[in-house]
Amino acid sequence: MSTLLQVESLGVRYGSIPAVRDITFYVDAGEAVCFVGPNGAGKSTTVLTVAGLLAPHTGHIRFDGRAIDGTSAEDIAQLGVSLVPEGRRIFSRLTVGENLKLAKSLRPGSAAATRLLDRVLELFPILRERYDGYAGLLSGGEQQQLAIARALLTQPRLLIVDEPSLGLAPKYVDLVFAAFAHLRAENMTLLIVEQSIRRALAFADRVYLLRSGAIVRHGRAADLRGDADFESAYFGGAATP
C-alpha cells in the first residue's frame, strides 16, 4: 500500500501558544483512519493544517510524496485533499443544489459532472429530495450530508471530515458512517475525526488517540478493540468510568 499522507513532527501554534507538538502519522491510500481524543486535544488543528488552513510551526507534511507544508489551501485542495470542517459551514440562504454547484469540480453541465452529482445524490438521497429547498431548512444531520456531498464533488483523493457526528441524532450518525463505509468500499482514502472511541474502533483500519496536542496511542483498530488501556488512555489514564 502506498502512503498518501505523511505528517512528521508537526507542531502548530496559535500565536505563541502551542496547540499541537510533534505529531507524526500517516494515511495509506485506500485506508480509513480515525483521530479520537477529548476536546482540545489538537485534532482540528492538525486537520486544518493538513488542509493548508493553518501554517505549521515545525515539521513536514507530504501528500502523495510531495511536500505540501507552505502550500496554499487552494493548491492543496487542487491536489485532492478535501476537508469538511467541524461545524459544516453550508450556505443557509442558498438551496441545496446551489450549495452543491459551488463545489469546484468538473465542468458544470458536462456528462461527467452529471454522473458525479448523480452518484453523490445516490449516497445521500435526502439531498435529491431537498435539492431546491434552502439549505438552512435542513436538519443538522442533513446539513452534514450536504457538507460531505459538496466535498465529494471535488473528487478528493483524501477526504477529511472533522467530527461529522457532533450534535447529530444517532440515526444521522449511522447514516453518515454508512456513507463513509460505502466510500471506503470504493477505495476512497478517509481521515475522520470522531469523538466516540467505539465508533472509531468499529469503523477505522487504524486509530490515533490524541491528547493535549500529542499522539499518545495508535494502532490497528482490530488490535485496539479489546484493549481496556486504550480507552482509559482517552480519559487520561484513569480507570475507565
Ligand X SMILES: Nc1ncnc2c1ncn2[C@@H]1O[C@H](COP(=O)(O)OP(=O)(O)O)[C@@H](O)[C@H]1O
Per CB under 5 A, does 45 bind Mg ion? no
Q: Which of 44, 105, 143, 165 binds Mg ion (CB under 5 A)?
A: 44
Question: Which of the choices Mg ion, ligand X, none does residue 37 contact, using the CB cut-off of 5 to 8 A by kind?
Answer: ligand X
Give, in order, the Cα–Cα distances in Å from 134 to each of 27, 97, 131: 36, 9, 8
161: closest CA among 119, 217, 214, 203?
A: 203
Residue 187 interacting entry, from ligand X, Mg ion, none, C-beta within 5 to 8 Å by type = none
Exactly one of 5, 25, 32, 44 binds ligand X (CB under 6 A); which one?
Answer: 44
Provide the residue type at 141 as one letter. G
Under the binding rule (CB under 6 A), the answer on residue 16 touching ligand X is: no
41 touches, from Mg ion, ligand X, none (C-beta below 5 to 8 Å by class): ligand X
CA contacts within 13 A on the Cβ side of 12:
29
Among 9, 40, 89, 112, binds ligand X (CB under 6 A): 40
Q: Write each residue from 156 to 195 as x if it is in contact with ligand X (CB under 6 A), else as -, in one continuous string.
A: ----------------------------------------
Pick 27 or 215: Cβ nearer ligand X: 215
Piece of 37-45, 67-75, 87-95, 127-135 that binds Mg ion (CB under 5 A)? 37-45
Closest to 148 (Cα-Cα) out of 96, 93, 75: 96
Contacting residues for 192 by C-beta, under 8 A, at least 6 apart: 32, 33, 34, 35, 160, 161, 164, 180, 200, 203, 204
CB 186, min distance to ligand X, A: 28
- The residue within the footprint of ligand X, chosen from 10, 31, 36, 37 (CB under 6 A), is 37
C-alpha–C-alpha distance, residues 127 and 94, integer Å: 13
CA proximity to 35, closest of 144, 170, 148, 162 = 162
Q: From the list Mg ion, ligand X, none, which binds 45 (C-beta under 5 to 8 Å, kind-based)?
A: ligand X
CA torsion angle 71 75 78 79 (round to 10): -20
Q: What size, in residues, is the chain?
A: 241
Q: Which is nearer to Mg ion, 28 or 86 (CB)?
A: 86
* Per CB under 6 A, 84 contacts ligand X: no
In angstroms, the CA 150 to CA 197 distance is 27
Element (H, E) at 146: helix 140-152
Residues 51-90 that bind Mg ion (CB under 5 A): 86
Q: CB of 133: closest distance to ligand X in angstroms?
A: 31
Interface positions with ligand X (CB under 6 A): 14, 17, 19, 37, 39-45
